[in-house]
Structure formats: C-alpha cells, structure tokens
Amino acid sequence: MRNKNKVIIYIVLVIMSFIMLVPFAWMVLTAFKTVGESTQMDPFVIFPSHWRVDNFVKVVHNVNFGRLYFNTIAMIALRVLCAVLTSTIAGYAFARLQFKGRDLMFALVLFQMMIPSQIFIIPQYVMVSKLGWTNSLLGLLFPGMVSAFGTFLLRQAYLGLPKELEEAARLDGCNIGQTFLFIMAPLTKSSMVALGIFTAVFAYKDLMWPMIVCPDTNKTTLASALSKMQGQFSSNYPELMAAALIACLPMIVIYVIFQKQFIEGIATSGGKL
Amino acid sequence: MGNKKKITNRQKSEFIWGWLFILPTMVGLIVLNIIPIFQTIYQSFFKTGDFGKGNIFVGGANYAKVFADTEVWQALWNTLKYAVVEVPISIIISLVLAVFLNGKIKCKITFRTIFFLPMVAAPAAIAMVWRWLYNSEFGLLNHILPGKTNWISNPKIAIYSIAIIGIWSIIGYNMVLFLAGLQEVPRDYYEAAAIDGATGVQQFFSLTIPLISPTIFFVLVTRVIAAMQVFDVIYMVIDNNNPALMKTQSLVCLFYKYSFTQSNKGYGATVVVVLLVVIMFFTVLQMIGQKKWVHYN
C-alpha cells in the first residue's frame, strides 16, 4: 500500500516536472533550428539536424544585448540597494522605537500594500517625464526607490528579536544609531537577503513600467526589449527563441546555483506579502 | 528628578532617530504612492484633450462612459474568467505538489527547483515560448494533440489558453509558500493519524487542509489580487489584430491601452479606479468568507 502510494507520487512529480520543462526545452531546441526545420510538419522535427548558432549570431548582431543586460542589472542592483537600505532602517524604527506619529505612518505603509500598483503608474509617469528621466536608469529605478512591503518585512524581523540585546548595548553607552548598526542590523541579514532576492526577481519580471518609461530599445530592460522583438522578427520563431534564451539563461543559471537562497528568500518574504 | 530627565532624553532621542529612520521610506511612499492615488482618482474626472494635451473637467462623465462601455464590461468579464480558472487550479496543483514534496522523497531539491523555474524567467520570454507552442500550424501542442485547435485565436478558448500559461507560471511560487506553511505542521499529527489508520487522502483533507488553512487563505487572497491585474501574458500573446483580442483583453490591458497607447489618461484612470473597486470588493468578500473555513490556532 505504502509503496504503491510512493510510486503514484513519483509518477505525478515526474509528469509535472516534464510539463514544467517542456516549454524551456522547446525554447532551446527551436533556437538551434532553421526556420525550415521549425515549420516542417511531415516528419515533425524535434531535434535540429545540426546545432547551429546562426540564430544567436543574428539576434546578437541586431539587438544590443550587452546594453540591455547592463540596464537590467543596473536597475535590479539599484532597486535592491534602495529597498533594502530604506526598509531596514524604517523597519527597525517601526518595530523598536517609540515616537509620536509612528502608528499613523505605519498605517500608511500597510495602506500602500493593499492598493494595486497600476493606480500609481500614471502620476509616476507624469513625474518621471517632468523630471526628464524617461529613457534613463533613474526612470527605471523610480517606483522602486522605497518599499512598503520591505518595510513591513523588516519590521517583522525586528519584532522577532529579544529586547535584552538592545538593553545591553544601551548600558554599554551605545546610542540608538550605534545599537541599530552594530547590534540589531547584523541579526536581520537573512531578512535583508530575502527582501533583496524578492525585489530582484520582481524587478527582472516587471514589464509595464520599463515599456512606458523607457520606450527606447537601447535604454530599456531585457523584459521590455523582448516584447518589442516579437514585432521585429515577426514570426521567425528560431530567432525569437534564441533571443528569449539569451534573455533568460543568465538568471536561470544564477537561480540554479543559488536555488536554496532563492526559494527560502521567496518563502520568507512572499509568505508575508 | 534625575530619573525623570533621563526618560525624557530617551524619548527625545527615540523621536529623532525614529523619524530619521522612517523619513526616506515615508517621503518616498507619500510622493510615489499616496499622492498618486488621489491624483489618479482626480484624473478620472477629467477628459484628456486631443493629442493628449490639456485636461477638461467632465465630472462623472468618464464613469458614465465606463458603465455604458461594452469593451470595459467585456474586459472585466475576461479578467474574472481568467482569475476563476487560474487561481483555484494553480492552488490545487501546487498544494498537492507541496504535500508530496513535504514527505520523504528522493530528489526533493531537484523537483522543487524545476517547479519554481518559471518564476525566474522573464514573462515576455515565457509568453513567446507559449505562443510558439500554441501556434496553430507549426506548434508542438497541435502536433501532439489530436485536431487542429486555434489555441490563441479562437475567441471562445483563448482566455483559457492564457490561463494555462498563468497556471504554469505560478505553480512553483504557490508551492514554495505552501511548503513553508507545511513545515510548521508538527510531524506527530501525521504519525498519530497514521496509527489511527488514516490514508494519505484522508490525512490530506482532515489534517493538512485545516492545519495550513491560514496559508491557503493568504495565497488565495494574494493570488486573486494578482490575477485581477493580469497583463503581461495577454499583452505578449494576443496581437492587436488577433480575432480573440476582445475576448481576452483584461482591465489592466485596457488601462494600458487608454493611458499610454491612446494617451487618454482620464479614461485610463477611470478604468484603473474601477479595477481598484473590483479588487477591494473581492478581497473584502474573502475576508468575510474566511471565518467559515480558516482555522487559526
């Protein structure tokens, strides 16, 4: 009985893994095919006859991937840095300091978390245009300069630390800034990492904001540039798949190497969203 | 006396440090989010002039137009259809997968890594691959499955094809959250149930679901909110000349089209305010409904 259950479980898991992997495999296989091979139906071609790199050469020639990578990585790095920095100090203050106006301000943080983000986009775009930040890195960073969710997450982390630590630091003559920097902040490193990963994944996946704020194909992110390529290469699927693969592969490789941190980061932060 | 002064000093210093620490976040939130909420609502009472220039106050005319606009009603209906398919199916599949992976399983990490994989791929890339899989002439799906289905150009089924992409993309994310919830369930509960002779299926319904019902509720609420905001996949998969466009575009697609393609920000703002109201309605509904099935201990 138990063994039979185990077998069923493994069969389900293997079938699901297959379903999850087929689109990725098809992306890779198509990227190495010629257009002829990709549209041949009788017989249907699964593996390319030769593993050609022509499609990759062609899209790299047509699209400035180096530039797109730079824009994407710079945007992610800036957003992660800003979100972690501002959320960590604000989270500490909301969790551990008593001051007038605190609860009202925290109510604003919670309120922001409940509002769908599209509500903010038109005014944010108007601000970015007025500042002259369209088609720039600052424009890409703009809505991610602070994080209500990150503040909430870090506040939770500080609430979970014992009070005695701060008392001891205070008796040793540390002021609040020193207590935070040397005693408390190092203890919430794992929450900061979780927030960083969470911010990075969602910044990488963001499509609408970069499309609006950086329409210039050289100034935008990978995600938004891909959406334009679809029109550019119309129905040349081998080339489209090569482009998609170039855009996805580095993130996937990083994820596979650090999968434990990725998944734990998402589990601890996503679960509190 | 001295003691009292010490406390006030401490209070003063907590006040200064406290505001110093929250200042960047609060300034950012107020400028980037809180004020824009009111600006968007304000904007929804204006009509953007021709060529996107000028703002003409029109009172409730945009709202009157929304209520009479069949395209908006159809988009709301598309959005609801998408959510009704994507959310429950993805939750059921990911819950089952999480329960399986929570047991003693070989290659647990490998399975978990594979299921979560779509989360780290750009949605634009995912949409392109699925579009290719769905291709009616040369697509892999029509080659494997019998018949010739127009997955994304048949207005009757296109929204469900889109929902399949949504389900495939989100299973891993939900599963990771469920796994985290399951890890907090004490093992002895299951051992006790096994001694009582409960089968795996019985354990799933009588133990697992009630014990992690707070996690299920949390995932449900956040997934409904996210599903109501579906945009990326529809925008990428459905072209402007796709015959299924009207039957697939979501409210956020309309918001994008009005605000940024046609630069009619007034009407775009109205659509997004409607979206806000719809999302709040469903969230409150779930908050009320949770009392019936969510067990906090």
pLDDT digits (tens, 9 = 90+) for A144-192: 999 999 999 999 999 989 888 888 888 888 889 999 999 899 999 999 9
Q: Is the separation of the CB atoms in B75 and B249 below 8 Å?
A: yes
Tell me how far apart the alpha carbons of residues B232 and A205 are, in angstroms, rounded to a whole number.
9
B22 vs A contacts (CB less than 8 Å) = 89-90, 93-94, 102, 105
B43 vs A contacts (CB less than 8 Å) = 122-123
B76 and B31 in a single domain? The answer is: no
For A223-266, the pLDDT digits (tens) are: 999 988 877 666 789 999 999 999 999 999 999 999 998 898 88
Which residues 45-84 of A are in CB contact (within 8 Å) with B? none
B139 and B20 in a single domain? The answer is: no
Local structure of residue B242 (DSSP, 8 states): -
Cβ of A107 under 8 Å from any chain B Cβ? no
Q: Is the separation of the CB atoms in A46 and A26 below 8 Å?
A: no
Tell me how far apart the alpha carbons of residues B109 and A13 are, in angstroms, rounded to a whole number.
12
Picking from A208, A123, A215, the residue whose alpha carbon sits closest to that of residue B257 is A208
- One digit per residue, pLDDT tens: chain B, 297 residues? 445 556 688 889 999 999 999 999 999 999 999 999 999 999 999 887 765 567 788 888 999 999 999 999 999 999 999 999 999 999 999 999 999 999 888 899 999 999 999 999 998 999 999 999 999 888 899 988 888 889 999 999 999 999 999 999 999 999 999 999 898 888 787 777 777 777 778 888 888 888 899 899 999 999 999 999 999 999 999 988 899 999 999 999 999 999 999 888 999 999 999 999 999 999 999 999 988 888 876
Cβ-nearest to A20 among B30, B118, B135: B118
Please state at what angle helix A118-131 crosses helix B35-43, rounded to 10 degrees. Answer: 100
Cβ-nearest to A176 among B13, B25, B105: B13
Please give the C-alpha separations between residue A190 and each of A197, A204, B21, in angstroms, as whole numbers: 11, 21, 20
Domain count, chain B: 2
Name the amino acid, one letter, at A114.
Answer: M
A248 vs B contacts (CB less than 8 Å) = 120-122, 125
User: Any idea how long chain B is?
Assistant: 297
Q: What is the pLDDT of residue A236?
A: 87
Q: Is the separation of the CB atoms in A265 and A193 below 8 Å?
A: yes
Radius of gyration for chain B, computed over Cα atoms and rounded to the nearest angstrom: 25
The answer to whether residue B53 is domain-embedded is no
Q: Supply A47's token pair.
A: 């593996």
Contact A23 B181 (CB under 8 A): no
The answer to whether residue B142 is domain-embedded is yes
Which residues 106-145 of B are in CB contact (within 8 Å) with A? 109, 111-126, 128-130, 132-133, 135, 137-138, 140, 143
Residue B145 three-state SS: coil
Strands B55-57 and B46-48: antiparallel
Q: How many CB pairs under 8 A join A and B?
A: 274
Tell me how far apart the alpha carbons of residues A65 and B2 are, in angstroms, rounded to a whole number.
67
Q: What is the pLDDT of residue B6?
A: 60
A153 vs B contacts (CB less than 8 Å) = none
Cβ of B33 under 8 Å from any chain A Cβ? yes
The answer to whether residue B52 is domain-embedded is no
B35 and B66 in a single domain? The answer is: no
In which band, very low, low, confident or very high, does the pLDDT at A37 lie, cut at 50, 70 and 90?
Answer: confident
Instruction: Give the 3-state DSSP-derived string for chain A, with helices as H, strands as E and coil as C.
Output: CHHHHHHHHHHHHHHHHHHHHHHHHHHHHHHCCCHHHHHCECCECCCCCCCCCHHHHHHHHHCCHHHHHHHHHHHHHHHHHHHHHHHHHHHHHHHHCCCCCHHHHHHHHHHHHHCCCHHHHHHHHHHHHHHCCCCCHHHHHHHHCCCHHHHHHHHHHHHCCCCHHHHHHHHCCCCHHHHHHHHHHHHHHHHHHHHHHHHHHHHHHCCHHHHHHCCCCCCCCHHHHHHHHHHHCCCCHHHHHHHHHHHHHHHHHHHHHCHHHHHHHHHHHHCCC
- H-helix or E-strand spanning residue B163: helix B158-183
B37 and B122 in a single domain? The answer is: no
In which band, very low, low, confident or very high, does the pLDDT at A212 lie, cut at 50, 70 and 90?
Answer: very high
The answer to whether residue B263 is domain-embedded is yes
Which residues 203-222 of A are in CB contact (within 8 Å) with B? 204-205, 207-208, 212, 222
B66 and B38 in a single domain? The answer is: no
Cβ of B225 under 8 Å from any chain A Cβ? yes
Name the amino acid, one letter, at A235.
Answer: S
B222 and B118 in a single domain? The answer is: yes
Contact B132 A116 (CB under 8 A): no
The answer to whether residue B55 is domain-embedded is no
Please state at what angle helix B158-183 crosses helix A259-270, rounded to 10 degrees. Answer: 90
The answer to whether residue B203 is domain-embedded is yes
Picking from B136, B167, B138, the residue whose alpha carbon sits closest to that of residue B154 is B136
Q: What is the CATH number of the domain that holds B99?
A: 1.10.3720.10
Query: Chain A residue closest to B236 (CA)?
Result: A227
B33 and B108 in a single domain? The answer is: no
The answer to whether residue B56 is domain-embedded is no
- Burial annotation B148-183 (CB, 10 A radius, 16+ → b, else e): ebbbbbeeeebbebbbbbbbbbbbbbbbbbbbbbbe
Tell me how far apart the alpha carbons of residues A17 and A22 are, in angstroms, rounded to a whole number.
9
Q: What is the pLDDT of residue B187?
A: 78
B218 and B190 in a single domain? The answer is: yes
Contact A105 B26 (CB under 8 A): yes
Cβ of B54 under 8 Å from any chain A Cβ? no
B74 and B144 in a single domain? The answer is: yes
The answer to whether residue B87 is domain-embedded is yes
For A87-138, the pLDDT digits (tens) are: 999 999 999 999 999 999 999 999 998 899 999 999 999 999 999 999 999 9
B12 and B122 in a single domain? The answer is: no
Domain hosting residue B106, numbered range: 61-293
Cβ-nearest to B122 among A22, A115, A204: A204
Cβ-nearest to A230 among B100, B122, B128: B128
Cβ of B237 under 8 Å from any chain A Cβ? no
Residue B148 three-state SS: coil
Q: Is the separation of the CB atoms in B244 and B152 below 8 Å?
A: yes
Cβ of B179 under 8 Å from any chain A Cβ? yes
B107 and B35 in a single domain? The answer is: no
For A43-102, the pLDDT digits (tens) are: 788 888 889 899 999 999 988 999 999 999 999 999 999 999 999 999 999 999 999 999
B110 and B200 in a single domain? The answer is: yes
Residue B57 three-state SS: strand
Tell me how far apart the alpha carbons of residues A87 and A94 are, in angstroms, rounded to a whole number.
10
